[in-house]
């Protein structure tokens, strides 16, 4: 066994010792399945014969599921409503062995739901034909903010790392972030950011994991496979976030790691470029990357592990996770 492979396997072996705080937006993913029968006489639409439904954790919940599958203990901090969707989220977490005592139940908030409708012939594979989003922002009130601040301060002493998973529902408050940031920095634990729409609003983190379109949107540029533009964009993004590193994911083109004072490090995609489903791959990447950093990995080694992990989950259908054994197997091979 070569030295680098042995080092990566040793990092993975330390995963089970870690507790990772995940602060973010918890969404209920709802899946409705039906068989197509005929076209409606009322309008040119399909009539579906309902068969069954399923529920899963969405948003920041994907990171929780990834961390749990990798043998670590995720500690979720966020806001859910006093509603059916909120109760389902808490129920799923309890079923998975994920603690729920750090979730805030807010009366003036409806838990976000993403409903995906799948349809097809009786014996055929079902295809997604529609998605319905029920969105609501977490309210700005002082009592809720005080609860968030206290929970994060308490978990600072009980966490190996902090993942901020911001889906723009505002469980992650910018003023709270800047109030607790010094505490997490003082504890010298990694702070990782995945923010869909506000990546440059959270400065001073350890690392962020944007995809290429998010970098383009934040900087208002187009990279267009231009290597110099890519390098400039990554460096500018790194500096504007005041981060130690940025891991930019580029789909079938792999990843690029930007570190302060170092040449960008290109990582080709692991496995085939014929991706089955990229849904949730970003959550897998930040989960493995952060977990590896908390286990003492360098940015480069953490990025290599995250790349392996991403390559595994994109070959699975739907929002998927991976196990420690799967990760070890690809490194061994």
Secondary structure of the chain in the HEC alphabet?
Answer: CCHHHHHHHHHHHCHHHCEEEEEECEEEEEEEEEEEEEECCCCCCEEEEEEEEEEEEEECHHHHHHHHHCCCEEEEEEEEECCHHHHHHHHHHHHCCCCCCCEEEECCCCCCEEEEEEEECCCCCCEEEEEEEECCCCCCCHHHHHHHHHHHHHHHCCCCEEEEEECCCCCCCHHHHHHHHHHHHHCCCCEEEEECCCHHHCCCCCEECCEHHHHHHHHCCCCCCCHHHHHHHHHHHHHHHCCCEEEEECHHHCEEEEECCCCCEEECCCCCCCCCCCCCHHHHHHHHHHHHHHCCCCHHHHHHHHHHHHHHHCCCCCCCCCCHHHHHHHHHC
Phi, psi torsion values for 167, nearest 5 degrees: -105, 15
Closest CA to 26 of 166, 149, 133: 166
- Sign (positive/negative) of CA torsion 281, 283, 285, 287? negative
pTM: 0.93
Specify if 42 maps to a domain.
no
Tell me what pLDDT residue 197 has.
94
How distant is the alpha carbon of residue 296 from its chain centre? Answer: 21
Tell me what pLDDT residue 37 has.
78
Percent of the chain scored above 70 by pLDDT?
95
Strands 113-120 and 127-134, by their bridges, are antiparallel
Tell me what pLDDT residue 230 has.
96
Catalytic residue among 135, 283, 301, 332: 283
How far is CA 93 from each of CA 75, 98, 106, 269, 317, rounded to the nearest angstrom?
Answer: 10, 5, 18, 32, 22
pLDDT at position 302 over 90: yes
- What is the band of 252 on the pLDDT scale with cuts at 50, 70, 90? confident
Which token pair is 311? 């390559």
Q: What is the mean pLDDT of residues 282-298?
A: 94
pLDDT at position 132 over 90: yes
Closest CA to 80 of 59, 118, 106, 98: 106
Q: Specify the number of domains making up the chain.
A: 1
Specify if 62 maps to a domain.
yes
Q: What is the mean pLDDT of residues 122-143?
A: 90
Tell me what pLDDT residue 127 has.
87
- What is the band of 276 on the pLDDT scale with cuts at 50, 70, 90? very low
Q: What confidence tens digit (pLDDT) does each residue in 213-234 have?
A: 999 999 999 998 889 999 999 9
pLDDT at position 289 over 90: yes
Specify if 131 maps to a domain.
no
Q: Burial-class residue 301 by CB neighbours within 10 Å (0-12, 13-18, 19+).
A: middle
**CATH code where residue 245 lies:** 3.40.1190.20
Q: What confidence tens digit (pLDDT) does each residue in 141-184 have?
A: 999 999 999 999 999 989 999 999 999 999 999 999 999 999 99
pLDDT at position 273 over 70: no
Please list, in sequence order, all residues whose beta carbon lies within 8 angstroms of the beta carbon of residue 54, skipping any fewer than 6 positions away.
Answer: 30, 31, 33
Tell me what pLDDT residue 280 has.
59
CA dihedral 175, 62, 256, 169 (to 10 degrees): -30
Specify if 37 maps to a domain.
no
Tell me what pLDDT residue 314 has.
76
133 is catalytic: no
Specify if 304 maps to a domain.
yes
Burial 61-92 (b: 16+ CB within 10 A, else e): bbbbbbbbbbbbbbbbbbbbbebebbebbbeb
Number of other CB atoms surrounding residue 146 within 10 Å? 11
Specify if 118 maps to a domain.
no
Q: What is the mean pLDDT of residues 9-28?
A: 96
Domain span including residue 217: 3-27+58-111+136-332
Which token pair is 132? 């319905």
Mean pLDDT, the chain, as a whole number? 92
Please list, in sequence order, all residues whose beta carbon lies within 8 angstroms of the beta carbon of residue 18, skipping any fewer than 6 positions away.
Answer: 72, 73, 160, 161, 291, 294, 295
Specify if 44 maps to a domain.
no
Specify if 45 maps to a domain.
no
């Amino acid at each position: 066994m070569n030295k680098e492979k042995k080092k990566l396997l040793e990092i993975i072996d330390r995963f089970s010792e870690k507790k990772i705080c995940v602060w973010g937006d918890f969404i209920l993913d709802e899946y409705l399945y039906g068989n197509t029968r005929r076209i409606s006489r009322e309008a040119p639409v399909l009539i579906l014969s309902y068969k069954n439904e399923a529920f899963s954790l969405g948003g920041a919940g994907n990171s929780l599921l990834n961390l749990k599958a990798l043998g670590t203990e995720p500690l979720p901090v966020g806001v859910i409503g006093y509603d059916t969707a909120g109760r389902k989220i808490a129920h799923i977490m309890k079923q998975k062995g994920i603690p729920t005592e750090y979730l805030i139940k807010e009366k003036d908030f409806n838990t976000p739901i993403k409903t995906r409708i799948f349809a097809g012939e009786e014996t055929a594979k079902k295809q997604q034909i529609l998605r319905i989003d029920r969105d609501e922002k977490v309210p700005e009130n002082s009592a809720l903010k005080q609860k968030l601040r206290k929970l994060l301060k308490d978990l600072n002493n009980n966490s190996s790392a902090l993942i901020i998973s911001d889906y723009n529902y505002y469980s992650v408050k910018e003023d709270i972030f800047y109030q607790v940031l010094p505490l997490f920095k003082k504890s010298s634990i990694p702070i990782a950011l995945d923010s869909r729409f506000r990546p440059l609003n959270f400065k001073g983190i350890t690392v962020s994991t944007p995809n290429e379109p998010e970098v383009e949107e934040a900087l208002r540029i187009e990279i267009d496979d231009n290597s110099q533009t890519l390098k400039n964009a990554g460096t500018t993004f790194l500096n504007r976030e005041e981060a130690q590193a940025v891991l930019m994911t580029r789909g079938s083109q792999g990843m690029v790691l930007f570190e302060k004072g170092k040449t960008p490090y290109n990582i080709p995609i692991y496995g085939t470029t014929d991706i089955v489903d990229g849904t949730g791959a970003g959550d897998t990447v930040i989960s493995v990357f952060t977990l590896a950093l908390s286990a003492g990995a360098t940015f480069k080694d953490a990025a290599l592990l995250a790349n392996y992990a991403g390559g595994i989950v994109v070959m699975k259908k739907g929002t998927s996770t991976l196990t420690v054994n799967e990760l070890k197997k690809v490194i061994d091979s």
